[in-house]
A and B are shown apart, each in its own frame.
Chain A
Amino acid sequence: MNRKGKLWIIILLDIVLGLVFFKALIGASEELSWVYIEKGGIRPDDILSYLDRKDYGTVAIMARSYRIGSKVRDEDEELYLMGEYADLLFYERIFAEDGQTEEAADFEKRRGEIRGVIPEYESVLDDMDQGIEKGLHGVTSDE
């Protein structure tokens, strides 16, 4: 094979490998940023699955890293907001009963903000509210 032929083959290989490299680079950067945000490796698919099962306690636990400020992808934020809502709901009762009314009020305020951000999920949040009411198996100070 002459020199020109070899050159063209290598150039073609360069183009193909260049595309493969570009794809691998994007994959690596996405994976890095994803794990960095989530740390625990909890995927939105998992949260969605538990939301479908109405297992809000698990959703709350999964979304806790979001509650303390971990950033998530914009398109996944609604799922984490619902988890944050559930987590605040659970702890709000404990704080209120424990006499930390200020913190409980903060949790309630934040829940109100979440409701404002994702009004389309009102029915899910209402279901959580009812769920926590049913979850109260003991005497509270309200009674």
Chain B
Amino acid sequence: MKCPNCGAEVELLDEVCPYCGAVNKESAAHRAEMKHYKERSKNAKEKACGIISENVALIVSSVVLVLLVIGIVAATYVEKNAFMFSHWAARSESLQKSAEYAGILRQYLDSGDYAAFLAFENAHVIPAYEEGYTEFEKISGMATNYVAAMNSIENVVLFGEGAKHYSVDTDISSCQRSIANFFYTYERALTDMEGDPHYGKLLDMKGKMDVALRIYLGLDEEKREEYLESSEGRQKAYLEEVLALE
């Protein structure tokens, strides 16, 4: 707006013109309204503060109540999904410590303890296809078949006097199937793993499997060939006969 005395620009809330000092009568009503609103606002604020201070204990305990409900829901969710969280944590850790863990895996491979190799890989949720572990990708797959076959043999030969088996038929079938699967995948891996840094371990696995079949299942080289060439039914019959599980 303009000053009615000198014509200079003055603000709406200016009581006097900053240039000529003339009283700004035109905005007097506006200024009075502003003063009134400010007072009302101040009163409302004071009233609100008063209500809050009177109810502070109630508000705080209500906030605590809400937080506790959220906490209970969150803790219950974590408890119910603990496996997912721990699995994720172990996997992240294995990626961070890839150099250390890869070294441990190599040690297990070098010692020929493929069961321990696989157990370590599983326990630490090591992704063989991720950077830092790619060298183990193929041997890891083969170790899975090797350990499955060894486990099934361990399962049918290592028990105490008067042992009670859950299901002899299942154990025999599992043993027959996993041994057959090992030799099938071994033949394929001989070609697939050519040039692989752990190719030698593949041959060592086969050597150990041959030993296990010989000492635990009575399959020397000649009998082994005969056994592997026989039908599934004959293989099971042989295992039933030699193991004589009750």
Contacts and interface: CB of A to CB of B under 8 A. Distances in A.
B158 interface: yes
Given A21-B75, A40-B122, A67-B116, A94 B212 contact: yes
A54 B159 CA distance: 6
A138 B220 CA distance: 8
A59 to B, nearest CB: 9
Contacts of B18: none
Interface in A42-60: 53-58, 60
B160 A128 contact: yes
B217 interface: yes
B19 to A, nearest CB: 58
A35 B86 contact: yes
Interface in B26-72: 54-55, 57-58, 61-62, 64-65, 68-69, 71-72
B154 interface: yes
Contacts of A11: 61
B90 interface: yes
Nearest to B242: A137
B115 interface: yes
B180 interface: no
A135 B157 contact: yes
B9 to A, nearest CB: 55
Interface string A80-91: 000000110111
Nearest to B62: A10
B243 interface: yes
A34 B68 contact: no
B82 A35 contact: yes
A15 B219 CA distance: 69
> Chain A's interface: helix, strand, loop or mixed, by majority?
helix
> Chain B's interface: helix, strand, loop or mixed, by majority?
helix
B199 interface: no
A24 interface: yes
A139 to B, nearest CB: 7
Contacts of B163: 53-56, 131
Contacts of B75: 21, 24-25, 27-28
Given A54-B162, A137-B243, A68 B116 contact: yes
A21 B67 CA distance: 10
Contacts of B219: 138
A9 B141 CA distance: 61
Nearest to B121: A68
B83 A28 contact: no
B160 A64 contact: no
Interface of A: 3, 6-7, 10-11, 13-14, 17-18, 20-21, 24-25, 27-28, 31-32, 34-36, 39-41, 53-58, 60-61, 64-65, 67-70, 86-87, 89-91, 93-95, 97-98, 100, 103, 124, 127-128, 130-132, 135-140
Nearest 9 A/B pairs, CB to CB: A135-B157, A54-B160, A24-B75, A57-B158, A54-B163, A31-B82, A138-B218, A17-B68, A127-B160
